[in-house]
Amino acid sequence: MSPRVILASQSPRRQELLKHIYKYFEIVPSNASEDIAEADPARLVERLSEIKAKEVFNRVQDEADMVPEMTGMKRLSRMFKASKLADTDDLMVIGADTIVVLDGEILGKPRDEEDAVNMLKRLQGREHEVYTGVTVICNAGNTEFSKAGTQKVMKNDVRTDGEMMAAGISSLADDSETKNISNNDHRAGSVGVYGCTDIIVEEIAGTSVRRITFHEKTTVHIAAMSDEEIKKYVETGNPLDKAGSYGIQTVFTKYVSGIEGDYNNVVGLPVARLYAELKMFKSV
């Protein structure tokens, strides 16, 4: 049986993309602070996706106290919820975050139209990178997880990331006392073109959970744009809620001369990679 799936994002683009994997899911936008000091783009999006997923997972544990209008949860009808969601104890929360990087500088959402214009002037005629980090948290419930070997990493482990990687252990920053991480030996060929991400076992809000956190990077090439073209695009209002001040799936697509990597990653959710990772949870 499929788990109860919650998307920790109010992005309509991520909602549409997740529908390619799950027909039924709920939406609970995260209230977590995104003020994180991290210069490395890959680590930043992974950490942001993780804190978003963890905040929502914590909050839905006591769902009786939730007020949909305050949390942003789009509840399904009582009949639909009873027939599709209430018959499972398995809970899965998916968090994601996307950033644009130009010359090593992280470009977030524009503050206003002027900021959007300035960002697009920098991006036009050049290539840049788009990173999306994804975290999936699932409680043990009755789900049958992959039977990979595990190693325990104590919170006070003093080994460097390089030493841990050499030992076949993945290092991710978190506040758990311990975490079990699946051995890398099972990765090759297990899910098609993607290698599996290690499953981390930890405790959140008193519940034993399994977590995976990963990122994807796509290189985007933008054609030369005139000041007038930039001005007209910004006036549509489309760039104001998007990292880097553009949406590749909008009218802006005519300025995208090419990409290297996953198109959906630029939209906001690397569907193929996420689907491959979810196979480890036996949930698709």
The DSSP letter of residue 225 is -
In this structure, are residues 261 and 219 in contact, taking their beta carbons and an 8 Å threshold? yes
Q: Output the six-digit token pair for 184.
A: 């890398």
* Set 65, 87, 97, 241: catalytic member: 97
Distances (CA, A) of 218 to 40, 176, 222, 247: 15, 31, 13, 14
Active-site residue flag, 103:
no
What is the β-pairing status of strands 127-139 and 207-222?
Answer: antiparallel
Q: How far is CA 117 from CA 82, 125, 129, in A?
A: 48, 14, 19
Question: How many alpha carbons lie under 13 Å from residue 210 in its C-beta half-sphere?
Answer: 25
Report residue 268 CA to chain centroid gap: 8
Query: Which residues form the catalytic set?
Result: 97
